[in-house]
Amino acid sequence: MSISADQKNALNRQAVENFQEYLRIPSVHPNINYDDCVSFLQRQAKGLGLPLQVYSVETNRPIVIITWVGTEPSIPSIMLNSHMDVVPVFEDSWTHKPFAAEIDEKGNIYARGAQDMKCVGIQYLEAIRRMIKSGIRLRRTLHVTFVPEEELGGVQGMKEYVHTTHFKNLNVGFALDEGMANESEEFILFYGERFIWHMHFHCPGQPGHGSLLFDNTPGEKARIIIDRVMDFRAQEKKKLADNPELAIGDVTTLNITQLKGGVQTNVIPEEFIVSVDCRLPITVDEHEWQQTVDGWCKEAGSDVWIQYEQKQPKVPVTKLDNTNPYWIAFKEAMDGLDLKIKKGVNPGETDITYLRNIGIPALGFSPIHHTDVKLHDHDEYLSTDVFLQGIDIYIKILQSIGNLKRHLNGYISQQPVVKLVEE
């Protein structure tokens, strides 16, 4: 069965309208009520004729799963993940209302979540809609998951969900999750993520009157910590500037994000706290890094210590070679569309890390190119053309990875892909 040009135009209009409706739901931190997101997704599932489940690992933190069952449902399934939550906005700095999903004269849709990452969730569903309408069936079951709290580290969402029986029953063999926009022609593909250490350096010392020169004050110790952090930061900036082959995900980033302490100007406090956001590339040995930061503390003072708000272990990357047939299928789809891929390590963190940590191969990919990177920024936007192109890209990718067939010897080979024909 083929889709006519008129049908394609109608599907495009429907896709954009669904995207706008989803963007208009202000699922913004803090204290999100996800009820409207769930209701919206229930209507989408009903329109697709697909079953929907809602599962929660924490109260009021729903995980929505829309499932398209494959012709061979016993073989490992594909998870297509996105998150429903978005970060806060500074509305006065936006030229469009951040939850109005207005389209300007250039065809750009402005809204929080346009890039990060409500677009991807809708693109999954619209790709499935077109395949169903074309009479296409895939071997593998697709689970389209919409999770909460990703922007807060997934602690009340994916982090715990992957350890539940409910997740295990999905039989996930491979997953796709978010990537990032790119200004050039290439599409960014993440095969790994840096690991995060959020550190609070506690610098206690001698308190007293601000007019005196005591030894062992908190300020002296905090100064050493700040100097070491900023010196290392400058070293990594230089490394990045000197080597055009490196991307931000290939170096360690250190940023002082908070300075706490003190009660008033003429009182030396009993402690200063220096808070640091640290993100480590996969090339860093975590034990050696531990020795480095412990050495900074020792240099600053024997009583200086680190409180870890977050201290992630290094998570294995997803292999991009012939040992990973899902990657081969993904690449074949992109090559078939003559689209260029820029491979790299995600400089931030997404829910995909929890999947990789339990051994599931996963790729971070958002089909967004020729677009300014605006995630978490003012005036976040996505053009309708890029959004609609992304649906066509997913159709090709999902057919390719969804039609991998497992043989008795355990090897997975790709079978011919059915083309979506436009008359």
85 is catalytic: yes
Q: What are phi and psi of 212, to 5 degrees?
A: -105, 170
The 3-state DSSP class for residue 374 equals coil
* Helical (H) or strand (E) element with 296: helix 286-300
CA distance 343 to 352: 16
Alpha helices, DSSP H, located in 84-164:
118-133, 158-161
CA distance 107 to 110: 10
CA distance 63 to 50: 16
CA distance 93 to 100: 15
DSSP state of 91: G
Q: Which of 116, 126, 150, 392 is catalytic?
A: 150
Q: Which residues contact 285 (CB under 8 A, 6 or more apart)?
A: none
List, as own/partner pairs, every contact residues 89-95 make where C-beta atoms lie below 8 angstroms and the sequence separation is at least 24, other chains included: 89/28, 89/378, 90/378, 93/378, 93/379, 94/378, 94/379, 95/379
CA distance 366 to 36: 24
DSSP state of 92: G
Q: Which residues contact 1 (CB under 8 A, 6 or more apart)?
A: 133, 134, 135
The 3-state DSSP class for residue 405 equals strand
Nearest C-alpha neighbor of 271 from the set 212, 201, 198 = 201
DSSP state of 154: S
Are 176 and 80 in contact by the 8 Å Cβ rule? The answer is yes
The 3-state DSSP class for residue 23 equals helix
Are 41 and 124 in contact by the 8 Å Cβ rule? The answer is no
DSSP state of 146: E
Q: Which residues are catalytic?
A: 85, 150
